[in-house]
Copies of this chain bind each other. A is one copy, B any other.
């Protein structure tokens, strides 16, 4: 089993501490694994064939096996069958936990007792949580502009928490360098083993059906790559016949992959002055950006960017289905509305939109004025009738 550069194909042994290609500086990926679906309660047990090493299930916090929920009102309105993969039901309430759980295995196999990450929120909470779970020293690097409401759910796990002044896109690369110097394994957004965690999303989806399209909120590109790898492995294993069309969705306010995609470029360019309500996908220089571009072309996926107004509107509409998602999660719904309007997706298609994190994570996004009546116990009957 080898790690392979996603660009030049150069191979690296799994046992070497290497996180990106030494020649291209592009992300590495495990070769495609093949297997059968086994019996088991958890996704890790059912898909153990797809892991080239033993997973330490006794340290699992129950990540994965999230609901795939059909949203009735939006399906009707958009004349499609729309399902959401509700990743808010993970141990730290975002999809990151799948990747963190698997990612930690690589750190442990390489003999690390210190781990870290660079994150705007979700991944920080996830790595801090699993760091405690596995008993590791944990370093969390966050952007200095992070709001208090996002810091508290990280700080509760008591990691070494550092606010870093400077470009968030550069911080990713800087952290890998510092990790090498200080023997800290940084399980960053597109770490090769993180991808191995995310692929379980695809495994779970096909247990219900094979969708026509999958909408993927995209920041670093790690989630996109993981979901694609999952479907490819299922196809290689003859569990599915065709892979769905994957749609990479970005926020207009920070859309380096989208920009390169529509301009027909091979490489992303650092996005200047990023500014979007969807902070969880606000990476101006996605470390897997070039690879997402390569894969969009190879597998005929497409890329779309949506505005903050559309994102917040989608958040509101999803709440009307009973699901409270953070703004970065609802870009898929916003994109679908656009794609249906432009008839790029036909009536009746089966679509899965990945809802990446809980709305509780970012109450600050709910800027609206609350409509709340107030009355006494005695006046309640009258008040209710109004």
**Residues of chain A at the chain B interface (Cβ within 8 Å):** 58, 60-62, 65-67, 69-70, 86, 88-93, 125, 129-130, 132-133, 139, 141, 144, 149, 151-153, 155-158, 160-167, 170-171, 174-175, 177-178, 181-182, 184, 316, 319-324, 358-361, 363, 366, 370-378, 380-381, 383-385
Contact = CB atoms under 8 A, between A and B. Distances in A.
11 contacts: A60-B69, A65-B65, A155-B370, A156-B319, A156-B366, A162-B384, A163-B373, A164-B380, A165-B377, A177-B381, A182-B384
A162 B69 contact: no
A157 B370 contact: no
B86 A373 contact: no
A320 B373 CA distance: 40
A132 B160 CA distance: 41
Contacts of A361: 360
A371 B153 CA distance: 13
Nearest to A167: B377
Nearest to A73: B135
A178 B86 contact: no
The number of times this chain is found in the oligomer is: 2
Contacts of A58: 70
B129 A380 contact: no
Given A62-B66, A62-B67, A161-B371, 17 more contacts: A60-B69, A61-B69, A62-B69, A88-B93, A129-B319, A130-B322, A132-B320, A133-B321, A158-B371, A160-B373, A162-B384, A164-B374, A165-B376, A166-B377, A166-B378, A178-B380, A358-B360
List the 8 closest A-B pairs by CB distance, nearest first: A62-B67, A166-B377, A133-B322, A360-B360, A129-B322, A163-B374, A152-B363, A162-B373
Contacts of A69: 60-62
- A70, A171, A316, A373 — which one has the most chain B CB atoms within 10 A of its CB? A373
A370 B160 CA distance: 11
Grouping DSSP codes into helix (H, G, I), strand (E, B) and loop, the A interface class, with mixed when no group exceeds half, is: mixed
Contact of A380 (B149, B161, B174, B376): B174
A163 B359 CA distance: 23
Contacts of A86: 61-62, 91
Contacts of A70: 58
A302 to B, nearest CB: 29
A189 to B, nearest CB: 17
A30 to B, nearest CB: 25
A153 B88 CA distance: 14
B152 A366 contact: yes
A378 to B, nearest CB: 7
A172 B70 CA distance: 34
Contacts of A366: 152, 155-156
A150 to B, nearest CB: 10
A381 B182 contact: yes
- A182, A319, A371, A376 — which one has the most chain B CB atoms within 10 A of its CB? A319
A98 to B, nearest CB: 13
Contacts of A88: 93
B376 A149 contact: no
A132 B163 CA distance: 39
- A93, A164, A174, A322 — which one has the most chain B CB atoms within 10 A of its CB? A322
